[in-house]
């Protein structure tokens, strides 16, 4: 893997949880693999009054106590900043100049916005006014964390504001799901294998199912979640982006623009769900109190910061269609929720059944399935029929699987490791583009509008620890959702309880 140019990474919101838990550990892993630029520094920036040593000590909680970590922490610096006016960034600009000169680092800068979304348009404006957003000689890049808008209008406005200060090719809208190895491997699975590529269309695939389940609840973040919900928190961004990789046409070349052009076409081909059709295509739910493994579990409305009569969805299941030549008539199903039996994210390709049951009733079985597991127990599982030993032709389903954990000599990089390195190298393939973000919002906006304006659309309760509202099964009709276990190769309705 090529080395990135010398550069400085500036993290706004550096005293926050994301920096400690994800960003600093990811950078340390890149350091251990000798993937960081030869000359590199990190400047944490936030309102908290910290010294360089204070910032480095905060990193200790998520770093080992060894010589390598001590060497890595020498790259960490801190600068207190306010964000009330452009002048507040002058100390940061001066610090950048000092560190660049003293460490002889080229003035290539990546600005990472790990801040409240209200600051997304503010900080870029101040960077621009200080001459930090553009350079004729050096690169300047901006990483923006989700949420990228809270609806279609706000997403468009945010795009418009950012483009006042940075060019589109400078903006990296991060979606950590796209950094997961199994999502990236989707391209190889589809386009490098003659046994899958010809089958990846309406002729051979009956339906596609994407599940992202969490066993945890809102975990003290009820106040935040009340203004988000499962649709905004997971489906509009993470899971639609995954669907884009599943459904895209082959790009002409493996380059950022070519790949992102194809995922955009998928979003533009999504059949609109009208507000009066929402109840037919979308099921939302909210977890209620229950007992799991003998322990009483609170319902969502009993969580701190949650309204007593809240109608915020903690579960959503969606049926939709992609109106193009490849996928005409093939239903796609997405579900995501909190307080489900296990933590798992996977894609299930349900192939069509054979047209004739040659071996009679005892030879009939369910659809062949290709399961692509994103997390945990990352891997791929193929389910197909084999003859049961003995007389007759009784058919049973067997598994053929591959687990990334079997590659003992290979490290599966964490999502933030991959995405940070890609940005350092100027590769935007796994980052969302502005037009794709807007297209995804355009699709889900009528659903949100219907929920906001029509109180007759139900929100179903489901016991914490179950697989969501029973009504979500009705979306699939004669089929049924796959009920995955933590172990990729196992199936079971409540295997984690």
Spatial contact of 493 and 485, defined as CB atoms under 8 Å apart: no
Residue 471: other Cβ atoms inside 10 A = 15
Contacts of 430 (CB under 8 A, 6+ apart): 175, 178, 179, 184, 418, 419, 422
Q: Which residue has the tokens 């489901």?
A: 462
Q: Which two tokens stand for residue 216?
A: 């945890």
SS3 318: strand
DSSP letter assigned to residue 8: E
| Sequence-separated (6 or more) residues with CB below 8 Å from residue 80 | 45, 46, 47, 48, 49, 50, 91
Query: Of the listed 176, 238, 350, 356, which one is catalytic?
Result: 238
Contact residues for 459 (Cβ-Cβ < 8 A; gap 6+): 284, 285, 286, 311, 313
Residue 337's DSSP bridge partners are: 213, 315
Gap between the Cα atoms of 495 and 276, Å rounded: 37
The Cα–Cα gap between 173 and 94 comes to 27
Q: Does residue 238 have an active-site annotation?
A: yes
CA torsion 384-385-389-393 (nearest 10°) is -170
Query: How many Å apart are CA 131 and CA 137, to the nearest integer?
Result: 13
Calpha distance 485→463 (Å, rounded):
18
Q: Which residue from 220, 254, 242 is spatially nearest to 415, judged by alpha carbons?
A: 242
CB half-sphere exposure, 240, CA atoms < 13 A: 30
Comparing CA positions, the residue from 18, 17, 496, 469 lying closest to residue 216 is: 496
Q: What tokens appear for 302 in the block?
A: 């009993």
Enzyme catalytic residues: 238
């Amino acid at each position: 893997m090529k080395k990135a140019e010398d550069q400085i990474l500036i993290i706004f919101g550096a005293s926050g949880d994301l920096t400690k838990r994800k960003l600093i550990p990811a950078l340390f892993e890149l350091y251990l693999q000798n993937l960081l630029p030869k000359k590199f520094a990190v400047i944490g920036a936030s309102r908290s009054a910290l010294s360089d040593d204070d910032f480095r000590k905060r990193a200790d909680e998520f770093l080992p106590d060894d010589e390598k970590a001590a060497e890595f922490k020498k790259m960490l610096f801190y600068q207190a900043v306010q964000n009330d006016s452009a002048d507040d960034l002058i100390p940061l600009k001066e610090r950048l100049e000092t560190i660049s000169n003293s460490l002889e680092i080229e003035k290539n800068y990546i600005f990472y916005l790990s801040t409240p979304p209200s600051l997304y348009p503010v900080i870029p404006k101040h960077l621009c006014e200080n001459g930090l957003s553009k350079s004729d000689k050096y690169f300047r890049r901006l990483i923006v964390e989700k949420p990228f808008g809270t609806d279609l209008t706000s997403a468009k406005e945010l795009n418009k504001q950012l483009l006042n200060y940075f060019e589109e090719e400078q903006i990296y809208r991060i979606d950590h799901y796209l950094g997961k190895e199994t999502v990236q491997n989707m391209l190889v699975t589809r386009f490098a294998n003659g046994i899958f590529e010809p089958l990846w269309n309406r002729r051979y695939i009956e339906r596609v199912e994407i599940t992202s389940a969490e066993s945890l609840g809102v975990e003290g973040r009820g106040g935040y979640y009340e203004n988000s919900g499962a649709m905004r928190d997971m489906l509009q961004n993470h899971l639609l982006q995954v669907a884009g990789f599943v459904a895209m046409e082959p790009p002409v070349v493996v380059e950022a623009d070519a790949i992102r052009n194809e995922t955009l076409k998928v979003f533009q081909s999504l059949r609109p769900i009208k507000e009066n059709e929402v109840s037919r295509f979308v099921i939302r739910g909210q977890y209620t109190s229950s007992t799991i493994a003998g322990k009483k579990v609170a319902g969502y409305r009993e969580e701190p910061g949650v309204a007593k009569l809240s109608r915020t969805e903690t579960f959503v299941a969606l049926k939709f269609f992609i109106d193009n030549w490849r996928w005409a008539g093939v239903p796609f199903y997405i579900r995501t929720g909190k307080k489900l039996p296990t933590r798992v994210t996977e894609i299930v390709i349900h192939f069509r059944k054979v047209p004739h049951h040659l071996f009679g009733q005892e030879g009939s079985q369910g659809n062949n399935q290709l399961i692509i597991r994103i997390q945990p127990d990352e891997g791929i599982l193929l389910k197909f029929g084999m003859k049961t030993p003995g007389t007759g032709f009784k058919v049973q389903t067997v598994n053929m699987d591959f687990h990334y954990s079997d590659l003992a000599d290979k490290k599966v990089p964490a999502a933030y490791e991959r995405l940070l390195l890609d940005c350092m190298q100027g590769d935007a393939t796994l980052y969302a583009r502005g037009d794709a973000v807007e297209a995804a919002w355009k699709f889900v906006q009528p659903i949100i509008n219907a929920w906001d304006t029509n109180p007759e659309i139900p929100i179903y309760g489901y016991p914490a620890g179950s697989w969501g509202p029973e009504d979500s099964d009705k979306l699939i009709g004669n089929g049924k959702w796959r009920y995955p276990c933590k172990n990729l190769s196992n199936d079971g309705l409540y295997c984690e309880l």
